[in-house]
Chains A and B, each alone.
Chain A
Amino acid sequence: MTTKTTVLNLTEEEFVHPGNRACSGCGLSIIYRTALKALGRDTILVVPPSCLTVLQGLYPIASTQLPCLNVTFASTAAAATGVLGALRAQGREHTTVAAWAGDGGTADIGLQALSGACERGEDFIFFCYDNEAYMNTGVQRSGTTPRHVLTTTTPISGKPQKNKDVPAIMAAHGLDYIATASASYPIDLYDKTVKAKTFTGPRYFHIHTPCPAGWGFPANLSVKIGRLAVETGLFDLYEIEHGRFRLTGKSAKMLGKKRPPVADYFKTQARFKALSDAHIEAVQQEVDEKWERYEKAGVPADA
C-alpha cells in the first residue's frame, strides 16, 4: 500500500518557476506545475503554439526547468514521435516524452498527427489542457467549446454545435491508458500521471482547465468553478485502462448521490449568457441521462 498523495508529500522540486507569464487564476498553471512534478526531471516536453507557449516565457528567458521543443501547431504528436525516434536511436529510452497541447492543438489542427502517432503506438504521454476555446488567440470557438457558449467567433447566439468527445476518439485508437482530470483536483492529476508513467505506448490525458479571461469569471474562482463542473456531473473524472472505463476521485464518490443542478455552474460564467432556460434544461437532461447510464451499467469506481 502506497502512501496517499497529499500536497504535503508532493516533491518540493519545482519545474515551473514563479513569475511566469500565465494570467492570474490560470488553470493551466496549476496542472502544469503539478503534472511536471509527477513526470520528473528525466522528461522532454513538446509544445505547439498555445497558452503554454506564453506561460513558458519569451526568449531568452524560460520558466520551465525541463527541456522543451516548441513545434508547429499541427505537429505536436509527430514531433513527440521524432524525439522518441532519436532517443531510441541513441539508446536513451529512459527519458519520458510528454506533449502538452490545448484543445485546438489537440482536437482540431493537431488531431491528424495525434491519431497517426497513436495508431503507430508511439511511447508518449499526451496532455490536452482543455480550456474549451482558442484562448491564446482571444477566445475563438474550438471543437471542444460546449454548445451555446459565447466566444469571439460565436459572439451573439453562442456555438450551435456540441463539443467533440476527444477521450472517446482516443479510446477508439485502443490506447492502454486514458484519463480525464481537472485543474481543480491537482492531486488526482498527479496520481494519474504517476500511474501513466507505468504504461508504455501512447497515453492520453484530457484536463478540464478553467480560464478566467476566456470564461468570464473572477480569477479567484478558478478552482471553485472547476469543482462545480465536476460536482454538477458535466465533466467527469475517469480512467480508461486497457479499455475498461472507471470513474475516479470526486466523480466516483458521486455515484448514487444527488448532484447540484448544472444551472449552478452556468450562472458563474459570462460565456453562458446566451443559454436560455430551455437550453439549460436540455443540458440537465443530457447530464442526468449520462449519470443514469453510469448507475445502470454499474460503472466501477475507485474507493
Chain B
Amino acid sequence: MHIIESGNVAAALGVKLAEAAVIAAYPITPQTPLTEKLSELVDAGEMKAQYIPVESEHSALAVCIAASSTGSRTFTATSANGLLYMTEQLNWAAGARLPIVMCVVNRGIGAPWTVWNDHQDSISQRDTGWIQLYACDHQQIIDSVIKAFALAETVSIPVMVCYDGYILSHTYMPFELPDPEQVRAFLPDFSPQYALDPTCPKNLNTVTLPDIRPDVRNETAPGYMEIRHNLHTDMRKSLDVIGDIENRFKTVFGRNGDPFIEPYRTDDAEYVAVCMGSLSYHLRDVIDKLREDGVSVGVAGLRVYRPFPDKAVAEAFSGKKGLIVFEKALSYGYQGALFADIKAALYGCAERPFVKNYILGLGGREIKTTELAEALRDSCRPGSETSDASEWIGLKM
C-alpha cells in the first residue's frame, strides 16, 4: 500500500511494524513528530509497547539499555544536542552489545543554537561503536528502520538510522508501507542470548581488569581488550550481514538497492560526486543537467558510514578520474571526516582518483543547485584539485 506521510511518521510506522516493545524518548526538534506519533500509536492501542516519556536523552538511552538487557526490543530517537547528551550511553550500549535501534534526525549542534539540518551530530558520534545508516528518502527511512532491527539483533550491535532534519523529517512523500505479515516473516521475534532473569542471575557490565582472569569454574573469560576486539571484529563482519539482510529484504519485499553505495549515472562517469543522506538525491538533478552539458559526472550516496564500507568504496571508485565529496559536517582542524575516510579507502588502489572536499549546508544553510553545479563544473576536470584543504560552498564572508 502506498501512503503519503512525513519522514518522521515513516520512521514511526517502521518502529510499529518492527513491534518494538519498549520505547523511550525525550523531545527535541526536529525529532519530535516521530515520538509524538509513537506515543499516539501506543495510547490509541494500535501498538502494543511501553512508551516511557523520560526526563532527558541520557535517561532515554538508559531505559533502552536496561530494557534491552532485560530482553525486550527497544527504540529511541533524538537529534543534535540530544544525541550528544547521550554520548556516554551510546558507548555503554555498544560496549554492552545491545541491539537498540535509534533514529537520529540530523541537526546542527550548538553553540550557537541552530535547529536546522547538518550531519555534525551523528558524524561526531562516529567512534561510539554504533552502526550508522543514512537514508535518502522516506522509503529508505521506513525500510532502514525495519532492516536496522534485523541487523542489530543479528550482530548484537546498536544501529542508528540517520536522516536529514526538515528536508526529510518534515516533508511529505509517497512510499510503500510494508505489509505487517511480511515484516514478521523478515524480522523474527527478539530472542537475546542472555537477559536479566532472577532464575539465572548474572552480573552485567562489571568492572573488568586489564588482563584476562579465570572464572569460578577456572574457565578463562575475556578481558577488557578482548571485549573491545570482539566489538570491532563483529562490526567489520557486519558489513557482510548488511549485504545478506539487503538480499533477504529483496526476497520478502521485492525491492532493494546497493546496501553500501547508491549510484546514479556513475557507471560511465569519469567523475563522481559522493555524499550521504538526502543531498545525494538533490545532486541527481544537478548531474542530469551537467550530463546534458557534456560533463562526465555521476553521484553516489553512501548508505553506511560505520562500519565503513572501504572495499565497496575502493571497488566503486577505482579507475575514476576524480571524486568530489560533499559534506554537511567536518572534523575541526582537519577536513571532512567522510573525505578522510574515502581517501584512506582508496590508498591501496592502483588507479586512484583525485579526491576533493566541499563543506556545505552547515546549520541549515541553503544548498543551491546552481552552487552544486558550479562546484562540479569546476572540479570535474584534470588538475582541478590544487589543495587537500576543504573548500566551502555557500559561505558568505
Contact = CB atoms under 8 A, between A and B. Distances in A.
Contact of A89 (B50, B53, B197, B202): B50
Interface string A50-86: 0001101111111011111111101101111111011
Contacts of A54: 207
B196 A44 contact: yes
A55 B184 CA distance: 44
Given A57-B203, A67-B197, A72-B62, A83 B67 contact: yes
Of B24, B203, B206, B215, chain A has the most CB atoms within 10 Å of the CB of B203
A234 to B, nearest CB: 33
B213 A60 contact: yes
Contacts of B204: 67-70
B198 A79 contact: no
B313 interface: no
A119 B221 CA distance: 41
18 contacts: A60-B214, A60-B221, A61-B216, A62-B206, A70-B204, A71-B62, A74-B58, A75-B59, A75-B65, A78-B60, A78-B63, A81-B62, A82-B24, A82-B64, A85-B52, A86-B22, A86-B72, A112-B55
Given A69-B205, A71-B65, 5 more contacts: A72-B58, A78-B59, A85-B22, A89-B72, A119-B55
A86 B21 contact: yes
A68 B196 CA distance: 7
B337 interface: no
Contacts of A62: 202-203, 206
B357 interface: no
Contacts of B49: 89
A69 B72 contact: no
Nearest to A68: B203
Given A69-B196, A72-B88, A79-B66, A89 B21 contact: yes
A120 interface: yes
A41 B56 CA distance: 32
A87 B208 contact: no
B215 A60 contact: yes
Given A78-B59, A86-B21, A88-B50, A57 B70 contact: no
Contact of B59 (A41, A58, A116): A116
Contacts of A116: 54-56, 59
Contacts of B21: 86, 89-90
Interface of A: 41-44, 46, 53-54, 56-62, 64-72, 74-75, 77-83, 85-90, 95, 112-113, 115-116, 119-120
A62 B201 CA distance: 10
A111 B335 CA distance: 40
B1 interface: no
Nearest to B200: A67
B89 interface: yes
Majority-rule SS of B interface residues: mixed
A197 B165 CA distance: 46
Nearest to B194: A67
Contacts of A59: 206-209, 213, 221
A17 B202 CA distance: 14
B106 interface: no
Contact of A58 (B62, B196, B200, B206): B206
Contact of B205 (A42, A44, A70): A70
Identify the interface centre among A44, A57, A75, A90: most chain B CB within 10 Å of its CB: A75
A69 B71 CA distance: 12
Interface in B60-83: 60, 62-72, 74
Given A71-B66, A85-B67, A85-B72, A58 B209 contact: yes
A31 B385 CA distance: 69
Given A67-B197, A116-B55, A81 B66 contact: yes
A236 B206 CA distance: 34
Nearest to A119: B55
A85 B197 contact: no
A88 B216 CA distance: 33
A259 to B, nearest CB: 40
A79 B50 CA distance: 14
B203 A83 contact: no
B392 interface: no
B89 A75 contact: yes
B338 to A, nearest CB: 30
B354 interface: no
A85 B69 CA distance: 11
Contacts of B88: 72, 74
Contact of A56 (B56, B68, B206): B206
A203 B205 CA distance: 25
B92 to A, nearest CB: 6
Contacts of B198: 41-44, 66-67, 95
Contacts of B208: 58-59
Contact of B50 (A65, A77, A85): A85
Nearest to B223: A59
B24 A75 contact: no
